[in-house]
């Protein structure tokens, strides 16, 4: 597996070694013993999300009880984003993004303390993500996808949003007690 560093410490792209021939292909999608050195904790929950083209989900996080997420796409293509929202971090408010697709088979590690979001670029996109903590409704939170202070360069101008995501506050409007610390 190749580890590709991003501009944010802790966020990495994992590119598997694919063995392919005329019969098809094989690759190792997950092995804990390669990930521990990257600071990736054991996973306790797996989720699947399917979205139509132009659907934007995020920017979501949990606090307290944060989740780290190992995100991959099994069908289609998405533009996947992580935003550092850890108070005191030298990268607070900065974001990084990667294209994940069934074709490139890349996985994106979004550490605890980061907000996560994506937009479906293909007609349909199906994501699979492993989480380091279970979903906690009381800790669930969101930040505005179009927060001008973050200036995330989304590849869509008018995404399809849930009511929750459309009403999410800007990062500067979130109470300090509802944000993780570095």
Q: Which residues carry out catalysis?
A: 60, 129
Q: Which two structure tokens, joined as six digits, stand for 76?
A: 């289609």
Q: Which residue in the block uniquely carries the two structure tokens 């792209």? A: 13
| Residues 12, 38 contacting (CB under 8 angstroms) | yes
Which alpha helices (DSSP H) does 11-68 contain, by range? 32-35
Label residues 83-108 b or e (16+ Cβ within 10 Å = b).
bbbbeebebebebbbbbbbeebbbbb
């Amino acid at each position: 597996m190749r580890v590709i560093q991003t501009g944010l410490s802790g966020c990495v792209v994992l590119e598997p070694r694919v063995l392919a021939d005329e019969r098809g292909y094989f690759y190792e999608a997950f092995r804990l013993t390669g990930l521990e050195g990257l600071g990736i904790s054991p996973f306790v929950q797996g989720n699947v999300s399917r979205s139509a083209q132009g659907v934007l989900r995020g920017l979501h996080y949990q606090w307290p009880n944060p989740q780290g997420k190992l995100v991959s796409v099994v069908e289609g293509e998405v533009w996947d984003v992580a935003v550092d929202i850890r108070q005191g971090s030298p990268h607070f408010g900065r974001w990084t993004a990667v294209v994940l697709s069934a074709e490139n088979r890349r996985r994106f590690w979004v550490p605890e303390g980061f907000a996560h979001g994506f937009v479906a670029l293909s007609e349909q996109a199906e994501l699979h993500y492993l989480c380091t903590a279970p979903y906690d409704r009381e800790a669930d939170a969101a930040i505005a996808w179009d927060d001008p202070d973050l200036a995330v360069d989304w590849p869509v101008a008018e995404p399809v949003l849930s009511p929750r995501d459309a009403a999410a506050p800007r990062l500067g409007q979130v109470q300090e007690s509802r944000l993780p610390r570095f």
